Structure 1
């Protein structure tokens, strides 16, 4: 072993073992996927010297793409999408075993990253496995002839095992949070998500002095559909409405199901006249595509007013009941 290798081992390995338990505790404390990925990169940088580091995520059915890249060749690495079985990283994922190649530049399994220099390089690749599920991989790249030592590889492998569990837990948490904010029947955001987003959009509207409109709608003949055709027909009608809302609205708008037959549309940077146009258009589209009739009620926040959008829109929704369905209730300001 060269002097350079001995210096490297003495510098990183003992420090790594002393810090491993503490760093793993910090990693497991993270709750969100992005935070876990960032913590993985930061922790590995403290444990082992490398020039580039990539955390890969699986992309069904058989590919890997970078979820986080850190290092001098980050721009080139971010553009990569590889198949499982392709290159050293893909091969490690295929066999589900760590692979270290301390002369990857001479390794027939390695693929060249477009835009990077061909030079002596060591690569350590570790699949991220949690409960037998392949989540992705860790790839560490070190330029030069100073390859990864056995001690470093053992350290990285222990870390990768816990990192995979932390990443799986964070993903599960994200899925649970998404489910808690999603309506099961329609797939739209639910009342909880709407209330959270309404608070964010009101803050943004006040800061930017922009209008913000809220449109509520419900189905006039929903009970009749359920009573005469059964609840399956009612569920189908609700899904149709959800699909129309999703297809009709702008990217910045939010459609949500509040419960029962009531839906809400949050319309950022939309004044009262524009909200009325949206309401009229939805009535026309829904009545043209379905057997459903709807009533709507709207409210608009402006910098000159300070109103409870949900309360005012709900009041105007019920005022519109019994009116001509093509003349929905609308409230441009307050009270």
Structure 2
């Protein structure tokens, strides 16, 4: 074979490889587009870190507004009445509810049994009166609005955009409320022209991340409205000192959300993850669903098989059947893998 023929064969192979590479990227991207989320930079004080060691993360940088980086205080994290229901867990209520591991009646080791009568006292936007929230009293015992005269919303919401241009700057909670007409007290919303197919509680475990919370709510509310969901956002604020306990906050958020409204499922949402595509619908799944499979800081690939952290959805029956998350994980990680195995 002469040199010219060899060169032609080499060029053909090169073109073939390039075409295969672009086809692979195209089809892989199509499969993952709906789960794409953007991760915000973790900026918190030393006492608010989830671990005792420095763990710098290579995340997309957030340009904070002037003077906002040092705005966290002991009272931070209570959002405006309109854009989210804030539930605060303090040291007294935690000690009263948590008890010792030996005394807890667990179905799963390290996991507290759900008992709404013994859950910690809460303070927040949607006050509870006589065991029933104000909003539940407003809409009835079951807490479901009377939309019987309205048709069911379409299976595929008609107003979806697809890939989103996300906001990366924080605005005030009041501005978030003003830019999202239709929001009700406690961060509640339901479509006015049809009956939502899904009643969803968005539970956000939180501590001293006000700027991230503002950015998340600015992006999340308009997306959930376009998805025609009957939803409420619940910010579960850990004000007690010590290491962050994400799992405990999510358990509390689940129980307290159901006291306020007859939700069908819960979406547990980290405060530093922003959805990048509204076709990733926050609906109630038949099986537990991992909704943040493609994160920008991981180059939109799963860091390991079986990951369940970040943003995840589970229906009410399944969450109660597995007894929720384990309360025994303090600091960074572990609770999501524990949940995935169960």
Instruction: Please say which structure displays the higher CA radius of gyration.
Output: 1
Compute the TM-score of the two structures, normalised by the length of structure 1. Answer: 0.24
What TM-score results when the alignment is normalised by the length of structure 2?
Answer: 0.23
In terms of fraction of residues, the more helix-rich structure is 1
* Structure ranking higher in strand proportion: 1
Higher RCO, Cα 8 Å, sep 6+: 2
